[in-house]
Amino acid sequence: MPDAFQPDQLRSLLRPLAAAAPDLQLAGLYRAFYGLDFSARIPGVQTRLGVMQVESYTLATQAWWPAQPRATLVLLHGYYDHMGLYRHVIEWALGLGLAVIACDLPGHGLSSGARASILDFAEYQATLRGLLAEARTLDLPQPWHLAGQSTGGAIILDYLLTGAPEACIGETLLFAPLVRPRAWGWSKFSYRMLKPFVESIPRRFSVNSSDAEFIDFVHHHDPLQPQNLPTAWVGALSRWVPHIEAAPRSTRRPLVIQGDGDMTVDWRHNLRVLDDKFAQPEVLMLEGAGHHLVNEAPAYRERYFAFLRERLGY
């Protein structure tokens, strides 16, 4: 494993993405640590790491370009995650000739904000709008396909159903999208009981992938992993769930990847919601796959990447 980088030092050096230095030395250490340096495997790829300002947050933002990009993948990570964990999806997209732009959500990774917390899911919508604005500033090629894992998928659902999507938006790729988490009734009860007394509870790290190397890295070696579950985030989720379940229907047809071994979200309920909200979403079910699909075992990734490549037509 490469030597660990210094997150706080890197944060202090990041500049606005459009003006960011592509060869910042600490950015190179960060990319090496998370396996985000694709230059040896994809000739001509360029990358840039910087920040964007969204409301009160300074959000770490990153873009990659293949030599001749023909479209763009706008990528949103899941809760507790950050951009550094998404190398498989990023490399796959670059191999298809897509540019990629992503950010660390508020309170995650290299971004500012209380760790793993948020006051309202509307802040996530502002984040996605900010990311689309950065894509426009960088003149990234259209169409812009949207991809999200878990909470990232929830952000995209909200945008498509309530956010007046831009005309340049292409396909939607949802990996184990969040609507309700598993055991949601118990989670809400626990939140109401705990809220008056505590601001957070210790995080319980789960085994949400059959890739043992990934699980070991997240549990023991990743310096950007939050250690607590803030009650504020659970409260924001409890207000968002009825909002999204009452949203109007859309004529879009998202591409949904879901594992039936997912113990994080209530995937059966969530798929029913997607079926109700969208015009015939196309779902690929993966027998035995866990929740963290973007970091599932290679056999699972090969299956869903082939499925998505065929639907995207690249």
Look at residue 53 in the predicted model and tell me its pLDDT: 98
Tens-binned pLDDT, residue by residue, of the chain (314 aa): 566 779 999 999 999 998 866 667 889 999 999 999 998 889 999 999 999 999 999 999 999 999 999 999 999 999 999 999 999 999 999 999 999 999 999 999 999 999 999 999 999 999 999 999 999 999 999 999 999 999 999 999 999 999 989 999 999 999 999 999 996 766 665 657 666 667 888 888 999 999 999 999 999 999 999 999 999 999 999 999 999 999 999 999 999 999 999 999 999 999 999 999 999 999 999 999 999 999 999 999 999 999 999 999 99
Burial class (CB in 10 A: 0-12, 13-18, 19+), 227: exposed
Look at residue 134 in the predicted model and tell me its pLDDT: 98
User: Cβ of 200: how many Cβ atoms within 10 Å?
Assistant: 19
Nearest alpha carbon to residue 66 among 30, 31, 90, 87: 90
- Domains with residue ranges and CATH for the chain: 7-308 (3.40.50.1820)
Look at residue 193 in the predicted model and tell me its pLDDT: 63
Q: Report pTM.
A: 0.95
User: Cβ of 47: how many Cβ atoms within 10 Å?
Assistant: 21
Look at residue 19 in the predicted model and tell me its pLDDT: 85
CA distance 118 to 113: 8
Burial class (CB in 10 A: 0-12, 13-18, 19+), 220: exposed
52-90 burial: b if 16+ Cβ within 10 Å, else e: bebeebbbbbbbbbbeebebbbbbbbbbbbbbbbbbbbb
